[in-house]
Amino acid sequence: MKKTTTLLLFLCAICSISAQDLMTNVYGRNFQSLNGKWDAIIDLYDQGHKNQIYQNKKPQGKTDFFEYSFENGLRLNVPSDWNSQIPELKYYEGTVWYARRFDAKKEAGKRLFLYFGAVNYRCRIYLNGTEIGKHEGGFTPFQIEVTDKVKEADNFLAVEVNNTRTVDAIPAMAFDWWNYGGITRDVMLVTTPNTYIKDYFIQLDKDKANQIDVRVQLSENTANTNIQIEIPELKISQKLTTNSEGVAQTSIQNIKKLERWSPASPKLYNVIVSSDNDRVEEQIGFRNIAVKGEDIYLNDAPIFLKSISFHEEIPQRMGRAFSEPDAMMLLSEAKALGCNMIRLAHYPQNEYTVRLAEKMGFLLWEEIPIWQGIDFENEQTKTKAGNMIKEMVMRDKNRCALTFWGVANETQPSAPRNEFLKHLIQCCKDIDNTRLIIAAFDLVRFDRNRQVFVMNDPFIKELDVVAVNKYMGWYHQWPVTPDKAIWDVAKGQPLIISEFGGEALYGQTGNADVVSSWSEDYQATLFHDNLEMFKHIPNLRGTSPWILFDFRSPFRFHPTNQEGWNRKGLVSDQGFRKKAWYIMKEYYNNK
Ligand code: GCU
């Protein structure tokens, strides 16, 4: 038994993938896409790993046989969830194997990495018959070095994906969105020099409008390597030298004519980071964000956040969003609504969405799915959540649009929860201590003695901005008329209403005062009433209706009004704007 344990531990050592190893800006690297049709096998009883089907054996003699083959069977698109590809997989929770072959250009002095944008929820990666890595977490990237494992031709890559919900996972056993499984984002084979520019963090100094802080990390602890930072439009060209950890950092000060990024003017600069044998470039924006008392400041002026949420889903396709055209569809609808911010609910969304949102001028709130019931007392769960949030921060820390790192949604007060979330906040700050930390709570209640809305969760002092989900007129009926709905919540801190709204089936009208009507008219009444209440929240600094589009959820059973859809969208699953959309548009236009 002991020998087996040692072997398993050793294998885990081989397979572990660390967030800190993630290369920055994968799209700026030299890569070969592995997207396309992959062979697939549905493995409902998890027999594949045990039977080593990743070796893809073929009968040799007359007595050989195998009860599987990757060729000539089911094929699935990568990237995409599996649920939306064939009817049999609509509700599927379990294991699906993906496999494909690829050639690799092997060059002296170069390294090769497999990079996955996301796989939901857990996976094991096999190359040419050997397990080479595994990952848990459905919404963040990971990479595995394969330099010494690939052949020039005909490599066999197998990915074992499982999306079964478990108590110790993040999210856990029940969540209000579809559990789309699969290789849901881009896959690529990345080529880098032996010593490559693994990571860099280039952003405007948190407190200065004319200073850019730069930190560059090589893949090796190589000292005295020349690094060059260029921002041609600002006439910046700086030479740095790495220290014994392979790190080079500097602050570029007294920059003239730097145009700071903002929703109204989303200015991005071409930034080039180069060393003797590597070069990476991308568009980076520069802005200041801060909290001052109850105000949120962007570039030295207070800002009101005109936000909206959306899930990473294209309703018309009934599937995960994963491409730039998908991002364009979702973000164009948010732009039409007059928003200056997006809450990317409830998990890190794909990099196309984040980068395009920045180009279009949206501030972003990004979070990992610490959604309601999480196993806060489980140390392994805490470690996994820490890795997940580090992967998110590592990937997007150069996106100036990123304003908030979100650490929780609707968690209940407890000591284990507080310790768990403090760990997540520290994980963020270990990588990036410039953004604002936020979390959404559903703890506001009406105090009948004081006749005001209150909230009691001391944990909010750990946050820069407090967010509240409150469904007045939907889950909660009005204790007073909206014009008398006064709030005394998180005084001294900025407050955002991060979710409010109610359901309506597009085209269903009338009954403007009947909640169960699921009518557009009732939803419109509800929005009117909530916008009236918002006038009586003295530290309100932003609103974010739930949600831009109707979205799929196994929570939503009503046979005619829902049919497996959460209908709180301002826009229907077919892309039609409901009456409440126009109310919200007018509110944002007048803000
Ligand atoms: C919660 C939760 C959302 C959910 C919404 C709803 O506030 O944060 O994820 O979809 O309520 O009930 O529609």
Domains and CATH numbers, the chain: 2-192 (2.60.120.260), 206-287 (2.60.40.10), 291-589 (3.20.20.80)
Q: Provide the residue type at 172 as one letter.
A: A
Pocket test of ligand 1: the residue of 471, 499, 556, 567 to mutate, having most ligand atoms within 8 Å of its CB, is 499
Any ligand 1 atom below 6 A from CB of 566: yes
Locate 431 and state its tokens: 């990588």
Phi, psi of 430 (to 5 degrees): -60, -25
Q: Tens of pLDDT along the chain (591 residues)? A: 455 555 544 444 344 577 878 999 999 999 999 999 999 999 999 999 999 999 999 999 999 999 999 999 999 999 999 999 999 999 999 999 999 999 999 999 999 999 999 999 999 999 999 999 999 999 999 999 999 999 999 999 999 999 999 999 999 999 999 999 999 999 999 999 999 999 999 999 999 999 999 999 999 999 999 999 999 999 999 999 999 999 999 999 999 999 999 999 999 999 999 999 999 999 999 999 999 999 999 999 999 999 999 999 999 999 999 999 999 999 999 999 999 999 999 999 999 999 999 999 999 999 999 999 999 999 999 999 999 999 999 999 999 999 999 999 999 999 999 999 999 999 999 999 999 999 999 999 999 999 999 999 999 999 999 999 999 999 999 999 999 999 999 999 999 999 999 999 999 999 999 999 999 999 999 999 999 999 999 999 999 999 999 999 999 999 999 999 999 999 999 999 999 999 999 999 999
For the CA of 568, the closest atom of ligand 1 is 13
Pocket test of ligand 1: the residue of 347, 374, 468, 469 to mutate, having most ligand atoms within 8 Å of its CB, is 469
Q: Which residues contact 316 (CB under 8 A, 6 or more apart)?
A: 573, 574, 575
Pairing of strands 305-310, 341-344: parallel
CA distance 441 to 452: 17
Any ligand 1 atom below 6 A from CB of 367: no
Q: For residue 564, report the distance from its CA to the centre of ligand 1, in Å.
A: 14
| Residues 194 and 225: beta-carbon distance below 8 Å | no
Any ligand 1 atom below 6 A from CB of 469: yes
Sheet holding 212-218, edge to edge: 197-204, 212-218, 247-252
Q: For residue 510, report the distance from its CA to the centre of ligand 1, in Å.
A: 25
pTM for this predicted structure: 0.96
